[in-house]
Structure 1
Amino acid sequence: MQLPPELTPEVWQARFEEDGEAVAAEVGVDPARWVAELRADLPAVRQRARALVDAFLESGGRSRSWRGSK
């Protein structure tokens, strides 16, 4: 599952604490396991995000489609 970066383990933990059963049913996971897996994946997620931003900046910040093709 791909999640937006603002949905950190802390955000999910807070959602589970507020309404854990409904959220768990919505996403179909065990809340404690989900948060633990997100925390474990965080270093790799940050690495991928840095690589994505670096690639964007190295490209001059413009996509090929923005420059147009002729």
Structure 2
Amino acid sequence: MESSGFETSSRSSLSDMSNISSNYHDVVTDRNMEFIWWIANRLTSYDEEMHKEILEDFFTDDAK
């Protein structure tokens, strides 16, 4: 049984849309992490221990 070109192209389009959405999410997540690192570095530039605590708290809260 042969599948029509429409079905194949339709499946391909949905897959492409999913990949685009996933790639967009990755870019947004990467940009958010860059901002978090930037702000954490600025806020704690004089206190390395505080910097570590902020990052540990962030990742601990995020995991909950």
TM-score, normalized by length of structure 1? 0.35
Higher RCO structure (Cα 8 Å, ≥6 apart): 1
Higher helix share: 2
